[in-house]
Amino acid sequence: VRNAEKSKKEAAGALHTLKDRAANYTQNDKPVPDKLKSQIAAFQSTYDEAARRIGSVQAERDSVAEQYARDRSRLAELLDQGE
């Protein structure tokens, strides 16, 4: 998760910079260069993938925590029955 968060943060920073550069072209009534467009798309993809990985890992953690809580509860129930 840390690596994905770091990747997401770095991509967000790069995206901000690249989008600012694209905005400068647009404000000056100039077309945004294709290379800049492709860089924005690449960093957007990196950002989206990192966000997806973070969400996936967090969902898995939540699922494991829920199962653990159910298992502990069931164990306590079984131990109480044995007494």
* Per-residue model confidence (pLDDT) at position 1: 81
**Other CB atoms within 10 A of residue 17 CB:** 13
How far, in Å, CA of 7 to CA of 2, rounded? 8
* Per-residue model confidence (pLDDT) at position 3: 87
Q: What is the mean pLDDT of each run of 10 residues along the chain (83 residues)?
A: 90 96 97 97 95 94 97 94 75
How far, in Å, CA of 72 to CA of 78, rounded? 10
Identify the three-state secondary structure at position 83.
coil
